[in-house]
Structure 1
């Protein structure tokens, strides 16, 4: 029967001592058999190693299991049983051991920092703005630095939560939530490239506190709204900023839409500014209260940083 030994476990130490003396006298190796191909190899210098002898494809082979007593008798028997199971599945134990070693080395090389570098490189190749790249790099390389050298497959939800809670306790609740989100994108990249089995950040949904927000009341008084328009008209800062403020007041568009506006989106003849639709939604349009002749560059040509893009 697999795992059955002719020697009780408590007699291995005594048998090992006896065979060690015999091996030293004869200057030859000695073997202490356990059963089902497992034996303890005792060398003349006193070193002892577990070995498993088996036959695969008609050829007798030997599998090194480990040194004794670092590898106990029970561990050696378990590894022998695992090797015998591999044989029944048509896989040589030596081949399986090599595959396990390669898998462990590959997992050790697939660290969180390595996946982060690939993620940021993909974002840059996809045309992410320098500001977005710098922010994500700060989040992933600075705030998440404790995870940089950790194998991606060994990072647990509890480990990530501890990191996020430390940021949260410093008063940066919004940053903690943003970091969880961007880390989730990194883990999803690892999952789709077969370097991780799951995204541990998914288990943290609802675990973080909501950011502290300060409501800002809208201007509903006509007189105060007029004061705002006069303040915009009297703004003496950067001309592009002044043009953007005027454009926002004329169209009532979101700040992000104003910043990303492109000249090609505005029909100066009608006049209508058609805002590109997000995925799976309809496009929006807003009346562009501009002159029908092409306006000055600072008013329409450079309303937002994206205006210069095609």
Structure 2
């Protein structure tokens, strides 16, 4: 017999943590401070493991069951859900830190270490400074071709065709 929303709401804290079992290895861990955590027990490579699925009431009973089913499917497909969760978290953190400006600054530091001429570095910085207001804070993987084209057209609209051409080249090198 599975849990009900009423049973979850009525679960009172005790002096020690305790579990309220649902179905198929899903349970609610009730802590002495009253916090209620969704957990899933599973076996991976012959070892018992536990996966955190969220905190009640932010994660409802139906959501916890959906997450349980997804995790069990991963186990059936040969994927450890805990490792996959860590990978997704790391990927999201990396994606959030890779703005156009951040990558451009890394590339600029690289070409500076390669001892490019100071006049070249000044020109590149000048071109990048014109791009930053438009693309600087955007995550690199979210920038579309049309957005780059819009920036280049704004520069061309002022009559600076050669600057726009060089800017396209610099933006392309940052992406590479």
Give the TM-score range, shorter chain.
Answer: 0.7 to 0.9
Query: Is the 8 Å Cα contact of residues 100 and 135 (structure 2) preserved in structure 1?
Result: yes
Q: 1:136 to 1:38 in 2, by over 3 A?
A: same
Structure 2 regions of 5+ residues with no counterpart? none
Distance in 2, matches of 1:172 and 1:70, equals 54
Q: Which has the larger radius of gyration?
A: 1
CA displacement at 1:139 relative to structure 2 = 1.6
Q: CA deviation at 1:172?
A: 4.9
Name the residue aligned to 1:116: 104
- Do structure 1's residue 17 and structure 2's residue 39 form an aligned pair? no
**After superposition, where does 1:50-89 map in structure 2 within 5 Å?**
50-89=38-77
Determine whether 1:33 maps to 2:21: yes
Structure 1 residue 51 displacement after superposition: 0.8
Do the aligned partners of residues 54 and 149 (structure 1) sit closer, same or farther apart at CA in structure 2, a change above 3 Å counting? same
- Which one of 168, 172, 176 corresponds to residue 184 of structure 1? 172
> What is the rounded CA distance, in whole Å, between the counterparts of 1:156 and 1:111 in structure 2?
13
Q: Tell me, what secondary structure is at the counterpart of 1:182?
A: helix
Aligned position for 1:93:
81
Relative to the length of structure 1, the TM-score reads 0.47
CA deviations 1:67-123 (Å, max 9, x no partner) are 122233444333323322332243322222223223333333333223212333444
The number of equivalent residue pairs is 175
TM-score (norm 2): 0.75
Structure 1 residue 159: deviation in Å? 4.6
- Give distance in 2, aligned partners of 1:136 and 1:98: 37
Task: Give, in whole Å, the separation in 2 of the partners of 1:70 and 1:156.
Answer: 34
User: What SS does structure 2 have at the residue aligned with 1:45?
Assistant: coil
The correspondence for 1:104, drawn from 92, 108, 125, is 92
| Separation (CA, whole Å) in 1 of partners of 2:113 and 2:92 | 31
Equivalent of residue 42 in structure 1, options 30, 39, 49? 30
User: CA-atom RMSD, angstroms?
Assistant: 3.2
* 3-state DSSP of counterpart to 1:135: helix
In structure 1, what is the Cα distance between the partners aligned to 2:112 and 2:15?
Answer: 66
Deviations, residues 34-91 of structure 1 (Å, cap 9, x unaligned): 3222222222332221111111122211111111222334443333233223322433
Compare the two structures and name the one with the higher helix fraction: 2
